[in-house]
Structures are given as structure tokens and as C-alpha cells.
Structure 1
Amino acid sequence: MSDFPRWRYFLVAVVLVLGILYALPNIYPPLQAVQVAPTQGASLDPTAQQKVISTLQAAKLPYVNESLKHDASRGDYIVVGFANGDLQKNAADALKAGLGERYNVGFNLESTVPRWLSLFGGRAMPLGLDLQGGVRFLMAVDQSDIIDRQENRYAQDVTALLKDKKISFISVTRNATRGQGVIVVLGTAADRTAASDAIVTEYTDLAVTDGQSTGDRFVLNAVIKPNKLHDLQVNAIRQNLTTLGNRINALGVSEPVIQAQGEDHISVELAGVQDPGEAKKVIGATATLQYVAGLGEARFNGRDWLGDQTVADAVHSGNIPPDAHLYYNAENTIAYLVSKNIIASGDELVDAASGNDPQSGSPMVSVTLNSAGAAKMLDFTRENVGKPMAVVYVETSTDTKIVDGKEVRTPKTTYQVINYASINGVFSNKFQTTGLASTKAASDLALMLKGGSLAARMDIVSEGVIGPSMGQDNIDKGLKAVLLGLGLVLVAAAIYYKLFGLVADIALFFNLVVLVAVMSMIGVTLTMPGIAGIVLTLGMAIDANVLICERVREELRNGSTPLAAIRAGYEKAWATILDANVTHLIAALALTTMGSGPIKGFGVTLLIGILTSMFTSVTVTHAITALIHGGRKLKTLSV
């Protein structure tokens, strides 16, 4: 047909070639693998790779391949592939025992897509939890922890405010009953009035009332207002969602699904993670920094602790001054006494970046604080130049033990001093933290800090595991559903519309190819609802060809020549096809933008499928029809 432009032939050819190229990676199933990565403070030395191999050989566990890889967010890590899940499980157990605590050993899926396809950016669609297997956790946000943190913060802020206003006071403490705010004790009624005015003006979220006074003790009660408390709880959920997402991504878990559930719960789905214990470490462990005043240090020389006598006595006797904590360095060779008063912490951190100290060349993390943290850091450094300040690395995890047949989870927090040095000058929002063990340790710490700190503690209240065998069963059923649906549509079209039906069948097949290619290119996670969307798309895609074929038949019945009937069939059917698909697009957009989880996955697949089907059902079939009938004298059409 001379009325079909050559540039459209070129467009169809390019789309179909690219579709095949980017859909092809999905025929290569991923390989069961084990990932070995260094822990915080450790590095992947050259002998680690050989140690992994020797451990597997000693355990007589055959592996398919082994490689050392690097990722911008994770650093160096080793991936070893295995033929099946049993070998993968046994290998993980052997490596955990053989490598010790300096390395994290976890399950992974290794891509088997050929290198030549990867060079073009080809990648298989990531599979969702229901197809790939994995773990699902429901985590409860500790609302009492939100109150504790905010009341502690207000106690420190009110103390600083009264000092700044030069208002004499006896004490500023939290009320013994959680949620009842801060108690301020002053020496005179005039001081109480002045303090009340200052607090009300500076902290509008506090409701300040006079408390019961006795003798020369005049009391103020400052309680967090209910609307502020609600905002804190909502923001805590949001911050924890962001923090979990950042940290799980930084630790290398692919395609996590993290979303709020109700007012105080968070649901976490980690596809491909097959070990719940390892997953708990990933989502349960949190890390942050605390900047505190240093009070002294002592070093262990192999026989005794030498240095500050107060520190040495605290190590020997366990009697720690009431205003101090006793912490150690990573090797437990240096003990430190540090103040309980925190100058700044991770929740006041805006940004963190790793690098090397320009003077010493040692690894460091450059830290930027928010305005509140910067003000406190400025005040502290201004008054303490020449005195020591400690940087404490705080990591919180959950220990799980079986007691009387029941799983008992206990929060565990470890403290480690990573830097202890004198303050050389006054600084506020930007400064450097040095004293880190390696460049990898600095990079890991920066990623943790940049991910943010949890606004409130969380506990795992339920968990579920979908095994890889169940996921494979879902894949098999989904594939059968797609092939069955596609096959029935192809047969029906070919029987009813003859040659035009065969052309529609070819276009329908390419519609599936292009749909899979687009989903792979943009990284859509394939789930069971997504497979349902593909099946529905295939059923809907043939509708456009039905309209075209029926319009061609009508034109033939009205006496049009075969070529004129084809031309009119495509031209007159296009408006109806467009109208029908626009309404479908609106529904798919609503599902995509307003839905979440499985609903959103179905909507995304449907949205892409509608767009690809409009191209293949009209443009591709028109191109094939033009090639078959163009330039020929036709008496009739096989339609």
C-alpha cells in the first residue's frame, strides 16, 4: 500500500528489534548465590576471596561461579553462585562458621544475563516477593520512645534557654510519669514568672502551668501539647520509612517494599532474602553517632590499664561516676569516660560524606548538622577549646532467643568510641570525624548516617517467609496462564479472521515482547498482580484488531475495493480504538497513582500494556498488511 510511509516501516522495525533485545534477558533465570561482605570497620583484604574458596572446597560444596564485585553503595563484596537452593543454604552455613564475625554472609540472586546483553543495558525484570520468595515483617513503632526522646530534648533545650536568659533555676528534669513533660524548679516566684514567659515564647508546642510550690521551691510544669504529640508520631513513621529505605538500599537488598500500615506499624517486604535471621539484622540494626564531652581515657598495655586514674578505677571496680558512661574502642584496648550529656546526635545530622583527611590522609567522614545541632555544637566548642570531645558510634540491634519454646526479642545497644581528640577551634554545623579504621569503614558510616537515624525504636511483631519453591510455583502458574491466554486468543483470531487474524496474532505476540521489554527497561517489579495485568492486556489488545477487521468487512460489503477497504478500515477504526483505550488509560492511571502494593503493580502493568497494544495493534498490523497487499491487484481479502 503506497499510502503507508516508509518512515513508519523504519519505526516499526526499530521498536521490534529493541523490544526483542530488551525482553531477551528475561529468559535467563537468576542463579542462587551467597554474598560475602565485610562488616562495619572491616575491609575485604586480598586473602578473603581465597578463604571463601578454600572454605567451600573443604566443605565439598561445588559452586558455579565466583567473583569479586564493587558497588558504589556497598563497596567490595564477593558473590558465589550455586546450582540449587540446598547448596546455597549449606554454603552460607559453612561460610558463616569459617569466616567469623568480620564478614556478613547473606543470600542473593546472581544475574545470568550474558555480558553482551548487559552492555546494552539489558536486564531481567526483578521479581516480587510472591514470585521470588523472601521475607515479610510487620514492625511496631514504639510510641513511648517518641515521647521519651522529645521530652529529653525539651529538658535540654529548656536548660539551655534559662542559662541563655540568665534566669536562675534549681533543676530541670523530666516528670517521672511519661507524657507529663518537664518539671522546672526555681528559687523565687519572680524567676518562675520569667521562666514561664521565656518558655512559652520560645517553645510554643509546650503548655506551661504553675506546679505545687513549697518553701523556696517554685515549680513549673511544661507538657507537650496533644496536637504536637500527634505530629511527632506521624513524622516518626515518615522518618522511619525513609531511614529503613535508605539503609536497606545501602546494604544491598534489592527492590524492598516498605510502607506504613495503620498509625504505628510499618510493613517491610524483602524479595529474594531467604534467611529471616539475616533479614532481621538488616532491618533491625540501626547506627548513629553521638558527640559528647570526653572526661578521660586509659590504655591497656597487656597487663594493666594506664592513663587517667579515674578511668582505670572505673574499669577495675565498675564504679562509674553518675554523670558519665564508660565506653571502649573497637579493639577494647582503650577505655574512655564520656559525659552523659549529648552535644549532638544522628537525628540532627543533615548530610555525611566519606573522604580522606587532607592533613593526615586518614579516612574521615565530613558531617553537616542542622541549625539546632549546629547551635549546640557552637556553644560547646566555644567554651571547651583544648578539651577532649568523643565521637561515639551507637548501634542498636535485636537479639532473638528461644525461651520455653517461644521466641523472645531483646533490644541490644552497643557503644564504641571511634574518635577521641582535643577541640582545636570553634566550629558549628560543618566538621570532620576522623579515627576510622579504613576507607570502607568511613564509606559505610557515611551511608548509615546519610540514611538518617530512626525517629523511634521499632520492634518486629510478626514475620512471614515465602520460600523460593512457592515463588517458583507461582512463576510456573503465571507463565501457564499467560501462554494459555495468549494461545486461545491467537487460535480464535486466526480461525475467525483468517489472514487478517494471523496478522493480528503476530502483532499480539510482539505486543507481549514489547511490553516485557518496557517493563524490564524501567525496572518494574513483576508480581502475581502484574502477571494478571499482562494476561488482561493480551485479551484487550485483540479488541483493536477486531474493530479494524470488522470495519474492513463493512467497507467490502459496501462495495469498496480491497485496498480502499483496508485504508478505510484503519482510518475509521482509529477514532473508536483511541476512545476506548483512553478510558482504559484513565483507569490504569488511577490504579497506579492512588493504589499501593499489588494494586499499584497491576495498574503499572496495565498502563504500559495499553500503550504498547495501541502501537502493535494498529501500527504494526498496518505495516504487515501493507507489506502483504501493497502493489498487488486484489479481487478479495482473507478477512
Structure 2
Amino acid sequence: MLQIDLWKRVLIWLTCAVGIIMATPNLFYERVERHNDAVNAIELGEDTPAQQAEAGLWPSALPSGLVNLGLDLRGGAHLLAEVQTSDVYEQRMVALWPEVRDVLRPERATVGTIRRQPSPPDELHVLISEEGGMSRAMELVRGLAQPVVSATAFGELDLDVRSDGALIILRLSEAEQIATDERTVQQSLEIIRRRIDEVGTREPTIQRQGRDRILIQVPGLGSAQELKDIIGTTAQLTFQPVVGRAGSASDSAGIGNEILPSLDEEGVFYILEQNPVVTGEELVDAQPSFDQNGRPAVNFRFNPSGARKFGDYTAENIGNPFAIVLDDEVISAPVIQSHIPGGSGIITGNFTVEESTNLAVLLRAGALPAELTFLEERTIGPELGQDSIDAGKIATIVAFSAVLVFMFLSYGLFGLFANVALIINIALIFGLLSLIGGTLTLPGIAGIVLTVGMAVDANVLVFERIREEMRSSKGPARAIEQGYEKALSAIVDANITTFITAVILFAMGSGPVRGFAITLGLGILTSVFTAIFVTRVMIVMWFERKRPRTLEV
């Protein structure tokens, strides 16, 4: 008998209703988007009458999830950046000097005096006065080398150490350089992703290209410069001892020191020790706040290691100045008045509220380990995106209309049932994309257009099978039941193979290819659901009401 239990019918129609409700916000895209932006702003503390008015544009009781539009549909900013991994080599050499000095000091009787010499950025040159103690010095310095942390460099050390007369020359080994490059690019990727996500942009594309390049695409931004402003600064925070003041940047700082300008005081330069007491890498939190005079500032807090070093330094250097340095500029150089335990403090300066908020974001996200050089920058205007949307709409409407007409001319009333299921199918696709926060790109629209063509394939198989069963002189009820049962295996086989292809495209592809794979995969799932369940329940309900003696399929 042709029969579907009541609970199954309720579940099928309930699923369709939920999908349609989830897809509905996309019909009022701009209004819902403004509502969502206002709600997010209110949650962040910007509770103004204007934001309240924007939040009221859409009922809070209804879903407000939207399908995110990709760069090719919405417009936005595109950057291709190269990570200057050589910067990290220089930082490693700067940090290595205190270790070399400390390990050689107890052996002064053998090696003599120890002096750092001018050297290339990726090397450290150390001169000892007693050349006869070179073998002992090389033994001690080589003891600083550590195993390279890399799956491809098992057993190799991170330092190459050689001598040239009384000069010790250190540099990173080849294996360590490769491992460092890999870590630097991966760290840059993660920091860029955190910075962009924290300023509230929608569905950015951030992926590695080649050995040391990163592709960054962010929909909705007005210009590439706006994107560069978000990620272009390294936001490297350090606390460095102050040696003295300099008259200009060209003055001699001395080996192991550097001259940096003051951020607030024009023409003022500080001579600082290159080796920082604490760095931003030991920062665990940074929040915008106000100082005791009501001016915008940033509160910060170190991890236990940073807090201990910060506390020890302030305890030992009461009465001495120390500099808070951000991106090679001295924000302030206060005199240490007392021991500062706990590892927390405040950064003050001539900030606006917006600047203090952005600085806190950058500090929380962490410092970029190396400078980024932007090789390519491009802004895609919203007009081009709108043209793409319009072209996609036309293609979808043409494909949709052609399929509707074909199904009606080929299968009559049963074709109308399939057409209703097709409309529900499209709604379910957008409902699922809204639910998972998926991004719709131009290739994604192509996937939906393909889904429209494929969606009726399962119905065609079922209807043709029903025709064959009717030719075998079986009754209408038996023909419908056998049509669905015997077509099921062909439907499942055809859609599983296509779904596997979509999964492979998603796993192996990136960017637009993934957008196509997502819409194709979701379209297959919804197509099978509507063909096997939705059209069947409509046909069963029609059959129970009409009780036809024959079927005209």
C-alpha cells in the first residue's frame, strides 16, 4: 500500500518550514545586515540611539543568519604579501649575544675580553682578546646549540659556529633557517587571521601561497589601504633599558645599543639597549581603558614568565628610566619609582579612543614575527560585485525557468510537484548556507545553477520508473510505490559519486573552488531529500484525496 506515517509527514514538512525560515533573511539582505552590525556594536558597548534604531530593522525573534557574499560578489580588498623571513634571523642573532657573553664571562682568564663586533644582520661576530683560548671559547659557544625542531631535520643543530683568527662567527644552520621560515610564515598566517577576525570583517580568505607568500582577501572593505592598516603594522611591544638621550638618529649608539625616536616628542631620540627586558610575546592580555586623568590608554598583563622578569627588573632599577617601545618608536620612558609586581601595567600616550582600541587589538593578536612586503594590492569595487550578482541572478532564473517548463511539459501534474520541490530545494540550500555561515562566491552561484539542473534528475528517474510500472498494467498505487523503490538505488548511486567529487574539491581546493564544492555538496543533499521525501509526500497526499484510476505521467 502507498502509505506514509503521520509523524514522517510532520517531520518532512517541519524540515522544509525550518529551511525556508532560515533562508528568509536573505530576501532582506541589506536590512538584516544592518541589524546584525548594530547588534554586534551594542554588545561591544556602543549603545547609541542610532544603533538601537538599526537593531530594530529586523525582529529579534526571527533568524538573522545570512549567506556571506564573497569578494567577487560584494567587492573588497585583495593583498598578496611576502613575509621577510630574514628579519627573524637578525632577531635571533640579537637575542643570542647575551647568551654568548654570559657563557664566556666565567672563562675570561682563558679567552680574555669579549666584545661584540659589527656583523651582517644574519650573523653574530664576537671578538676575544686571547686567541690561544679560541678552542675553549668554541667549545662553550657550540654548547649553546640546540636540536632543530623539525620533522625533516632530525639530529641537526640550530647553530653554525666557526672561527676566523680571534673572531667567533655564529649564524643559523641551513636546517634551522628552513624550520624558522616555516614557523614564521605559519605564525604570520595565524596572527593576520586573528587581527582581521577581531575587527569584525566577514569571511576573509587567508591562505599561504608558495614558500613565503600569503594571500589575503576580505569582502566588504572599501580599499586595499584599509586592509593594510589592519595588518600592516607589526605591533611589536618591548620594554627596554634606557642608556641615555641622543641629539639625532645619526648619532653613534654603541655596540649593542640602538637609537629610537620618541612617538610624542618631536626631535627627541633615546639610546636604548637592544636586548629588551620583556617583549610582547609574553603579553597575555591588552584592553583599552583610561588613565587617572581620563585619557585613553591600554592596560596590559604579562604571563608568569614575563611578570617575573618585569618585576625583577623594576626592583633592581628603581630610579632608572626604562622605555616602552612600540614598532621602533618610544611611547614613553618613565622613571621606575618602585617595584612593580604582578606583571600588569598601563600604556599611556596621546591616543584617541579608536587608536587605543586598535592598539589593544593588535597587542592581543600578537606581533608579526617579520615584516610583510605587499607585492600586489587590488580593490574590487561593489559595482563589479553587483554586476556579478546580476549575471548570476539571470543565469539562475533562466536555468530555473527552463527546468520548470520542461518538467511541466514532460510530466504534467507530477512535473508541478517536482517544481514545488525544486523551489523548496533552493530555499533549503540558502537556509543551510545561512546556518553554517557559508560564503557565496561566483563559482558558488554556478554550483547552485548546476544543482537546479541536477535537482530534477532524481524525479525524472522516479517518474520514468512509474511510467514503466504503469505499462506493466499495475495499479496507480502499486506503480507509484514500485517507482520510488526501484529508482532509489540509481538515485543514491548517482548522487553519492557526485557528492564524493564535491568532498574532494573541498578538501583539495581553495577559495572559489571550495565555494563551488560547498554549494554543490549541500545541493546534492537537499536534492535527494526533496526528490525522495518531499515529492513523494505530495504525491501520496494527492493520491489519497483524488484516488485516480490511472496516472498520466
Residue 225 (str. 1) matches residue 194 (str. 2): no
Q: What secondary structure sits across from 1:177 in the alignment?
A: coil
CA contact 2:19–2:431 (8 Å) conserved in 1: yes
**Cα deviation digits, residues 420-477 of structure 1 (max 9, x gap):** 534516x6xx711224469977654443222121111112122222221111000000
Shift of 1:341: 2.9
CA distance in 2, matches of 1:237, 1:366: 26
CA distance in 2, matches of 1:461, 1:79: 43
**Residue 285 of structure 1 aligns with which residue?**
233
For 2:343, the aligned partner's letter is F
Q: How does 1:194-205 map to 2 (within 5 A)?
A: 194-204=136-146, 205=157
Report the number of matched residues. Answer: 533
CA contact 1:353–1:443 (8 Å) conserved in 2: no
Q: How does 1:585-600 map to 2 (within 5 A)?
A: 585-600=499-514
* Superposition CA RMSD, Å: 3.8
CA contact 2:249–2:259 (8 Å) conserved in 1: no
For 1:491, the aligned partner's letter is V
CA contact 1:329–1:335 (8 Å) conserved in 2: no
CA contact 2:77–2:377 (8 Å) conserved in 1: yes
Aligned pair in 2 of structure 1 residues 336, 547: CA closer, same or farther (>3 Å)? Answer: same
**Cα deviation digits, residues 474-520 of structure 1 (max 9, x gap):** 00000111111111111111111111111111101100001011101
- Correspondent of 1:628 among 517, 542, 548: 542
CA distance in 1, matches of 2:248, 2:466: 96
Aligned pair in 2 of structure 1 residues 598, 318: CA closer, same or farther (>3 Å)? Answer: closer
**Residue 82 of structure 2 aligns with which residue?**
140
Give 1 or 2: higher strand fraction. Answer: 1
Residue 10 (str. 1) matches residue 18 (str. 2): no
CA distance in 2, matches of 1:229, 1:174: 23
Q: What secondary structure sits across from 1:549 in the alignment?
A: helix
Shift of 1:568: 1.8
**Residue 504 of structure 1 aligns with which residue?**
418
For 2:135, the aligned partner's letter is T
CA distance in 1, matches of 2:85, 2:223: 29
Q: How does 1:465-504 map to 2 (within 5 A)?
A: 465-504=379-418
Residue 176 (str. 1) matches residue 119 (str. 2): yes
**Cα deviation digits, residues 364-416 of structure 1 (max 9, x gap):** 221227x6x6786577467x253546352414xxxxxxxxxxxxxxxxx5431
For 2:172, the aligned partner's letter is I
CA contact 2:298–2:360 (8 Å) conserved in 1: no
Shift of 1:329: 6.3
Q: How does 1:549-588 map to 2 (within 5 A)?
A: 549-588=463-502
CA distance in 2, matches of 1:624, 1:393: 70
**Cα deviation digits, residues 142-193 of structure 1 (max 9, x gap):** 24323322222233443344458888663454763344x2222224357533
Q: What secondary structure sits across from 2:207 in the alignment?
A: strand
Q: What secondary structure sits across from 1:268 in the alignment?
A: strand
- Correspondent of 2:164 among 212, 236, 239: 212
Aligned pair in 2 of structure 1 residues 349, 284: CA closer, same or farther (>3 Å)? Answer: same
**Residue 150 of structure 2 aligns with which residue?**
none
Shift of 1:615: 1.0
- Correspondent of 1:345 among 263, 279, 282: 279
**Residue 25 of structure 1 aligns with which residue?**
25
Q: How does 1:34-433 map to 2 (within 5 A)?
A: 70=41, 76=46, 114-116=57-59, 118-163=60-105, 170-171=113-114, 173=116, 176-179=119-122, 181-188=123-130, 191-204=133-146, 205-213=157-165, 218-294=166-242, 314=246, 322=254, 323=257, 325=259, 327-328=261-262, 330=264, 338-346=272-280, 348-349=281-282, 351-354=284-287, 364-368=299-303, 380=313, 384-388=316-320, 390=322, 392-395=324-327, 414-417=329-332, 421-422=336-337, 424=339, 431-433=343-345
CA contact 1:68–1:79 (8 Å) conserved in 2: no
Runs (5+) with no aligned partner, structure 1: 35-65, 82-109, 296-309, 396-412
Runs (5+) with no aligned partner, structure 2: 147-156
Q: What secondary structure sits across from 2:277 in the alignment?
A: strand
**Cα deviation digits, residues 119-149 of structure 1 (max 9, x gap):** 4332321211111112211212224323322
CA contact 2:248–2:268 (8 Å) conserved in 1: no
For 2:409, the aligned partner's letter is I
CA contact 1:131–1:528 (8 Å) conserved in 2: yes
Which of 166-175 and 253-262 deviates more? 166-175
Q: What secondary structure sits across from 2:480 in the alignment?
A: helix
Q: What secondary structure sits across from 2:275 in the alignment?
A: strand
For 1:421, the aligned partner's letter is I
Q: What secondary structure sits across from 1:460 in the alignment?
A: strand
Residue 452 (str. 1) matches residue 404 (str. 2): no
CA distance in 1, matches of 2:249, 2:527: 77
CA contact 2:248–2:269 (8 Å) conserved in 1: no
CA contact 2:240–2:325 (8 Å) conserved in 1: no
For 2:193, the aligned partner's letter is G
CA distance in 1, matches of 2:33, 2:430: 25
For 2:41, the aligned partner's letter is H
For 1:432, the aligned partner's letter is S
CA distance in 2, matches of 1:121, 1:320: 64
CA distance in 2, matches of 1:334, 1:519: 55
**Residue 154 of structure 2 aligns with which residue?**
none
CA contact 1:363–1:436 (8 Å) conserved in 2: yes
Shift of 1:11: 1.4
Identity %: 30
CA distance in 1, matches of 2:39, 2:471: 69
CA distance in 1, matches of 2:374, 2:474: 71
Shift of 1:210: 4.0
CA distance in 2, matches of 1:594, 1:544: 28
**Cα deviation digits, residues 331-383 of structure 1 (max 9, x gap):** 7799876434322322x3362243889x99996221227x6x6786577467x
**Residue 299 of structure 1 aligns with which residue?**
none
Aligned pair in 2 of structure 1 residues 466, 229: CA closer, same or farther (>3 Å)? Answer: same
**Cα deviation digits, residues 300-334 of structure 1 (max 9, x gap):** xxxxxxxxxx75xx569996864464654657799
Q: What secondary structure sits across from 1:122 in the alignment?
A: coil
Shift of 1:8: 1.7
Aligned pair in 2 of structure 1 residues 168, 447: CA closer, same or farther (>3 Å)? Answer: farther
For 1:343, the aligned partner's letter is V
